[in-house]
Amino acid sequence: MDLGITTEQRNQAWAHWSSESKLIVVSQAQPQRTDKPVGVYCAVGNAWADWTSENGIGTGEHRYEVKLSPTARVLRIDPSTWPQVYRLFGCGGNLIPRIDWRAVSEKFDGVYVAVDRSENQTKTPLFWFQRMFDVETLCIWNKNSLELQ
Least confident of 7-11, 125-129, 135-139: 125-129
Look up the pTM and report it.
0.87
Whole-number Å distance between alpha carbons of 101 and 37: 6
Residue 94, C-beta contacts closer than 8 angstroms, at least 6 positions apart: none
**What percent of the chain clears pLDDT 90, i.e. is strictly above it?**
39
Q: What is the pLDDT of residues 57-98, one digit of tens each?
A: 877 788 899 999 999 999 999 888 989 999 999 987 666 788
What is the Cα gyration radius of the chain? Answer: 15
Residue 124: the pLDDT is 72
In this prediction, residues 49-53 reach a mean pLDDT of: 87
Least confident of 8-12, 15-19, 110-114, 120-124: 120-124
Least confident of 50-54, 60-64, 130-134: 130-134
Displacement of CA 12 from its chain's centroid (Å): 13
Residue 107, C-beta contacts closer than 8 angstroms, at least 6 positions apart: 73, 75
> How far apart, in Å, do the first and last CA atoms of the chain sit?
32
Residue (of 130, 138, 148) closest to 39 by Cα position: 138
Whole-number Å distance between alpha carbons of 124 and 96: 10
Q: Are 103 and 138 in contact (CB under 8 A)?
A: no
